[in-house]
Amino acid sequence: MPPDLIPVLAKNKSIKVENIDPLGSMGLIRFNFMFPPFNNQKMRQAILYAIDQNDYVLGIAGDVKNGHPCYSYFTCGTPLASEVGAEPLKGKRDFEKAKQLIKEAGYKGEKIVIISATDQPIVHSQSLLTAETLRKLGLNVDLQAGDWGTLITRRTSKEPVDKGGWSIFHTWLVGPDVTSPAVNFAIRGSGQKAWFGWPDDPKIEELRDAWFATTDAASSKNRRDHCADQPHVERREEIAIFLRSARRCEFIRTAG
Protein backbone atom coordinates (compact mmCIF):
# COMPACT_ATOMS: atom_id res chain seq x y z
CA MET A 1 0.00 0.00 0.00
CA PRO A 2 1.39 3.46 -0.85
CA PRO A 3 2.45 5.04 2.47
CA ASP A 4 0.59 8.30 1.77
CA LEU A 5 -2.71 6.40 1.74
CA ILE A 6 -2.20 4.69 5.10
CA PRO A 7 -3.27 7.60 7.37
CA VAL A 8 -6.25 8.36 5.13
CA LEU A 9 -7.56 4.79 5.24
CA ALA A 10 -6.73 4.37 8.93
CA LYS A 11 -9.22 7.14 9.78
CA ASN A 12 -12.07 5.11 8.32
CA LYS A 13 -13.58 2.95 11.05
CA SER A 14 -14.76 0.47 8.43
CA ILE A 15 -11.19 -0.25 7.32
CA LYS A 16 -8.52 -2.14 9.22
CA VAL A 17 -4.89 -1.35 8.34
CA GLU A 18 -2.32 -3.86 9.54
CA ASN A 19 1.29 -4.91 9.05
CA ILE A 20 1.49 -8.13 7.06
CA ASP A 21 5.27 -8.26 6.70
CA PRO A 22 7.10 -8.34 10.06
CA LEU A 23 10.51 -8.73 8.40
CA GLY A 24 9.91 -5.84 6.02
CA SER A 25 12.11 -4.86 3.09
CA MET A 26 15.60 -3.39 3.27
CA GLY A 27 16.51 -0.49 1.00
CA LEU A 28 20.09 -0.11 -0.14
CA ILE A 29 22.57 2.00 -2.06
CA ARG A 30 24.67 -0.04 -4.49
CA PHE A 31 28.05 1.20 -5.71
CA ASN A 32 29.87 0.36 -8.92
CA PHE A 33 33.29 -0.94 -7.83
CA MET A 34 34.75 -1.02 -11.32
CA PHE A 35 35.18 2.68 -12.05
CA PRO A 36 35.98 5.97 -10.30
CA PRO A 37 35.09 7.34 -7.96
CA PHE A 38 33.66 4.40 -5.97
CA ASN A 39 36.42 2.00 -6.86
CA ASN A 40 38.20 3.94 -4.12
CA GLN A 41 37.49 2.63 -0.61
CA LYS A 42 37.68 6.07 0.99
CA MET A 43 34.95 7.40 -1.28
CA ARG A 44 32.63 4.66 -0.08
CA GLN A 45 33.64 5.31 3.52
CA ALA A 46 32.80 8.99 3.07
CA ILE A 47 29.21 8.21 2.14
CA LEU A 48 28.80 6.18 5.34
CA TYR A 49 29.36 9.31 7.42
CA ALA A 50 26.90 11.44 5.46
CA ILE A 51 23.87 9.20 4.83
CA ASP A 52 21.12 9.53 7.45
CA GLN A 53 18.80 6.53 7.53
CA ASN A 54 16.12 8.55 9.32
CA ASP A 55 15.73 10.75 6.24
CA TYR A 56 15.11 7.68 4.09
CA VAL A 57 12.56 6.26 6.51
CA LEU A 58 10.50 9.45 6.36
CA GLY A 59 11.01 9.95 2.64
CA ILE A 60 9.99 6.42 1.71
CA ALA A 61 7.81 4.99 4.48
CA GLY A 62 6.19 8.34 5.28
CA ASP A 63 5.98 7.66 9.02
CA VAL A 64 8.14 5.95 11.63
CA LYS A 65 5.24 3.53 12.14
CA ASN A 66 5.88 2.14 8.66
CA GLY A 67 9.64 1.76 8.80
CA HIS A 68 12.77 2.28 10.86
CA PRO A 69 16.55 2.48 10.47
CA CYS A 70 18.38 -0.82 10.22
CA TYR A 71 22.16 -0.82 10.63
CA SER A 72 22.66 -4.54 10.09
CA TYR A 73 23.88 -6.41 7.02
CA PHE A 74 21.26 -9.01 7.91
CA THR A 75 17.55 -8.34 8.44
CA CYS A 76 16.84 -6.55 11.71
CA GLY A 77 14.81 -8.62 14.15
CA THR A 78 16.22 -11.94 12.93
CA PRO A 79 18.74 -14.19 14.75
CA LEU A 80 21.78 -13.05 12.75
CA ALA A 81 21.01 -9.32 12.84
CA SER A 82 24.04 -7.42 14.13
CA GLU A 83 25.28 -3.84 14.36
CA VAL A 84 28.92 -4.88 14.62
CA GLY A 85 30.99 -2.42 12.61
CA ALA A 86 28.04 -0.10 11.95
CA GLU A 87 29.36 2.88 13.90
CA PRO A 88 30.17 5.07 10.85
CA LEU A 89 26.60 4.67 9.60
CA LYS A 90 24.85 4.71 12.97
CA GLY A 91 26.68 7.53 14.75
CA LYS A 92 26.23 11.27 14.45
CA ARG A 93 26.35 12.45 10.84
CA ASP A 94 29.75 13.97 10.16
CA PHE A 95 30.03 15.87 6.88
CA GLU A 96 33.47 17.19 7.76
CA LYS A 97 34.75 13.65 8.20
CA ALA A 98 33.12 12.70 4.90
CA LYS A 99 34.71 15.64 3.10
CA GLN A 100 38.12 14.78 4.54
CA LEU A 101 37.84 11.21 3.25
CA ILE A 102 36.81 12.53 -0.18
CA LYS A 103 39.92 14.72 -0.17
CA GLU A 104 42.11 11.78 0.86
CA ALA A 105 40.58 9.72 -1.95
CA GLY A 106 41.89 12.26 -4.45
CA TYR A 107 38.47 12.89 -5.94
CA LYS A 108 38.89 14.99 -9.08
CA GLY A 109 35.30 15.87 -9.85
CA GLU A 110 34.49 12.66 -11.70
CA LYS A 111 30.83 12.49 -12.65
CA ILE A 112 28.72 10.29 -10.38
CA VAL A 113 25.79 8.88 -12.32
CA ILE A 114 22.85 7.75 -10.20
CA ILE A 115 20.39 5.75 -12.26
CA SER A 116 16.81 5.85 -11.00
CA ALA A 117 13.29 4.70 -11.90
CA THR A 118 10.41 7.14 -11.56
CA ASP A 119 7.83 4.35 -11.78
CA GLN A 120 9.24 2.80 -8.58
CA PRO A 121 8.58 5.32 -5.76
CA ILE A 122 10.87 3.51 -3.30
CA VAL A 123 13.78 3.58 -5.73
CA HIS A 124 13.25 7.16 -6.88
CA SER A 125 12.81 8.53 -3.35
CA GLN A 126 16.11 6.93 -2.35
CA SER A 127 17.80 8.32 -5.45
CA LEU A 128 16.64 11.88 -4.77
CA LEU A 129 17.81 11.76 -1.15
CA THR A 130 21.20 10.32 -2.05
CA ALA A 131 21.74 12.81 -4.87
CA GLU A 132 21.02 15.71 -2.49
CA THR A 133 23.40 14.35 0.15
CA LEU A 134 26.22 13.83 -2.33
CA ARG A 135 25.78 17.33 -3.73
CA LYS A 136 26.09 18.72 -0.19
CA LEU A 137 29.48 16.98 -0.09
CA GLY A 138 30.52 18.86 -3.22
CA LEU A 139 30.34 15.85 -5.51
CA ASN A 140 29.49 16.04 -9.20
CA VAL A 141 26.17 14.21 -9.35
CA ASP A 142 24.10 13.40 -12.42
CA LEU A 143 20.73 11.86 -11.54
CA GLN A 144 19.46 10.02 -14.61
CA ALA A 145 15.85 8.89 -14.19
CA GLY A 146 13.97 6.54 -16.46
CA ASP A 147 11.73 3.56 -15.82
CA TRP A 148 12.42 0.35 -13.87
CA GLY A 149 12.93 -1.70 -17.01
CA THR A 150 15.64 0.69 -18.17
CA LEU A 151 17.34 0.65 -14.77
CA ILE A 152 17.54 -3.13 -14.45
CA THR A 153 18.90 -3.33 -17.99
CA ARG A 154 21.41 -0.53 -17.56
CA ARG A 155 22.76 -1.80 -14.25
CA THR A 156 24.18 -4.80 -16.13
CA SER A 157 26.51 -2.48 -18.05
CA LYS A 158 30.20 -2.73 -17.24
CA GLU A 159 31.05 0.36 -19.25
CA PRO A 160 32.21 3.68 -17.73
CA VAL A 161 29.60 6.39 -17.20
CA ASP A 162 30.49 8.21 -20.43
CA LYS A 163 29.55 5.07 -22.34
CA GLY A 164 26.25 4.37 -20.64
CA GLY A 165 27.51 2.98 -17.35
CA TRP A 166 26.56 3.99 -13.83
CA SER A 167 28.00 4.81 -10.41
CA ILE A 168 25.08 4.14 -8.02
CA PHE A 169 21.67 2.57 -8.13
CA HIS A 170 19.12 1.95 -5.39
CA THR A 171 16.81 -0.95 -4.80
CA TRP A 172 15.28 -2.93 -1.98
CA LEU A 173 15.47 -6.58 -0.91
CA VAL A 174 12.75 -8.39 1.02
CA GLY A 175 13.68 -9.32 4.58
CA PRO A 176 13.85 -13.11 4.09
CA ASP A 177 16.40 -12.64 1.30
CA VAL A 178 19.00 -11.01 3.55
CA THR A 179 18.78 -12.98 6.81
CA SER A 180 22.16 -14.73 6.61
CA PRO A 181 25.41 -15.03 4.64
CA ALA A 182 23.85 -18.00 2.84
CA VAL A 183 21.15 -15.96 1.10
CA ASN A 184 22.36 -12.34 1.23
CA PHE A 185 23.85 -12.14 -2.26
CA ALA A 186 24.46 -8.39 -1.89
CA ILE A 187 27.42 -8.95 0.46
CA ARG A 188 29.25 -11.27 -1.92
CA GLY A 189 32.67 -10.14 -3.09
CA SER A 190 33.22 -12.54 -5.96
CA GLY A 191 34.32 -9.94 -8.51
CA GLN A 192 32.94 -10.40 -11.99
CA LYS A 193 30.66 -13.17 -10.66
CA ALA A 194 29.21 -10.91 -7.97
CA TRP A 195 25.92 -9.01 -8.10
CA PHE A 196 25.78 -5.74 -10.08
CA GLY A 197 28.63 -3.49 -8.94
CA TRP A 198 31.04 -6.44 -9.02
CA PRO A 199 33.03 -5.97 -5.78
CA ASP A 200 36.15 -8.10 -5.56
CA ASP A 201 36.65 -8.99 -1.89
CA PRO A 202 38.30 -12.39 -1.33
CA LYS A 203 38.21 -11.87 2.44
CA ILE A 204 34.41 -11.73 2.64
CA GLU A 205 34.22 -14.83 0.46
CA GLU A 206 36.58 -16.61 2.86
CA LEU A 207 34.52 -15.51 5.87
CA ARG A 208 31.30 -16.61 4.20
CA ASP A 209 32.76 -20.06 3.57
CA ALA A 210 33.82 -20.21 7.23
CA TRP A 211 30.25 -19.37 8.29
CA PHE A 212 28.96 -22.36 6.34
CA ALA A 213 31.38 -24.58 8.27
CA THR A 214 29.94 -23.65 11.69
CA THR A 215 28.01 -26.30 13.59
CA ASP A 216 26.23 -24.38 16.37
CA ALA A 217 24.42 -21.08 16.94
CA ALA A 218 27.23 -19.44 18.93
CA SER A 219 29.82 -20.15 16.24
CA SER A 220 27.40 -19.00 13.56
CA LYS A 221 26.95 -15.62 15.26
CA ASN A 222 30.69 -15.30 15.79
CA ARG A 223 31.36 -15.87 12.10
CA ARG A 224 28.51 -13.51 11.26
CA ASP A 225 30.28 -10.77 13.19
CA HIS A 226 33.47 -11.51 11.28
CA CYS A 227 31.50 -11.04 8.05
CA ALA A 228 30.44 -7.60 9.27
CA ASP A 229 33.66 -6.56 11.01
CA GLN A 230 34.95 -3.03 10.69
CA PRO A 231 37.53 -3.58 7.93
CA HIS A 232 34.94 -5.20 5.69
CA VAL A 233 32.18 -2.75 6.54
CA GLU A 234 34.45 0.06 5.39
CA ARG A 235 34.86 -1.68 2.03
CA ARG A 236 31.04 -1.68 1.75
CA GLU A 237 29.48 -3.32 -1.26
CA GLU A 238 26.32 -1.48 -0.36
CA ILE A 239 24.80 0.72 2.32
CA ALA A 240 21.59 -0.47 3.94
CA ILE A 241 19.40 2.57 4.49
CA PHE A 242 16.04 1.56 5.97
CA LEU A 243 13.69 -1.27 6.84
CA ARG A 244 10.12 -0.82 5.62
CA SER A 245 7.05 -2.85 6.53
CA ALA A 246 4.30 -3.72 4.07
CA ARG A 247 0.74 -2.97 5.12
CA ARG A 248 -2.65 -4.01 3.84
CA CYS A 249 -6.16 -2.80 4.45
CA GLU A 250 -9.38 -4.75 4.69
CA PHE A 251 -12.98 -3.72 5.10
CA ILE A 252 -14.56 -4.59 8.42
CA ARG A 253 -18.00 -6.06 7.95
CA THR A 254 -20.59 -5.11 10.51
CA ALA A 255 -24.13 -6.30 11.08
CA GLY A 256 -26.56 -4.38 8.92
On whether residue 10 sits in a domain, the answer given is: yes
**7 and 63 Cβ atoms separated by less than 8 Å:** yes
Q: How many Å apart are CA 60 and CA 126, to the nearest integer?
A: 7
**Roughly how many angstroms between the first and final C-alpha of the chain, as a whole number?**
28
Mean pLDDT along residues 102-117 = 98
The answer to the question of residue 59 being in a domain is yes
Task: Give the three-state DSSP class for 170.
Answer: strand
Q: Answer whether residue 256 is part of any domain.
A: no
Average pLDDT over residues 76-104: 91
- Residue 233 confidence (pLDDT): 43
Overall domain count for the chain: 1
Q: Which residue has the higher pLDDT, 250 or 38?
A: 38
Q: Is there a cis peptide before residue 37, judged by omega within 30 degrees of 0?
A: yes
Nearest-CA neighbor of 127 among 144, 110, 139, 111? 144
The C-alpha atoms of residue 237 and residue 34 are separated, in whole angstroms, by 12
Mean per-residue pLDDT, 29-45: 95
Taking the C-alpha atoms of residue 211 and residue 107, their distance in angstroms, rounded to an integer, is: 36
Residue range 119-129, pLDDT digits in tens: 999 899 999 99
The enclosing domain of 128 has a CATH number of: 3.10.105.10
| Per-residue pLDDT reduced to its tens digit, 126-154 | 999 999 999 999 999 999 999 999 999 99
Give tens-digit pLDDT for 92-101: 999 999 999 9
Q: Considering the entire predicted model, what is its pTM?
A: 0.87
What's the mean per-residue pLDDT of the chain? 86
> What is the rounded distance in angstroms from the CA atom of residue 235 to the CA atom of residue 41?
6
Cα(232)–Cα(200) distance, rounded to whole angstroms?
Answer: 12
Residue 33 and residue 79 in contact, taking contact as beta carbons nearer than 8 Å: no
pLDDT for 58 beyond 80: yes
- At 196, the pLDDT band (50, 70, 90 cuts) reads very high
**pLDDT at residue 195 greater than cutoff 60:** yes
Question: Would residue 160 count as lying in a domain?
Answer: yes
78 is in which domain, residue-wise? 3-251
* Cβ-contact 168, 151 below 8 angstroms: no
Residue 255 has pLDDT above 60, yes or no: no
Residue 53 lies in a domain: yes
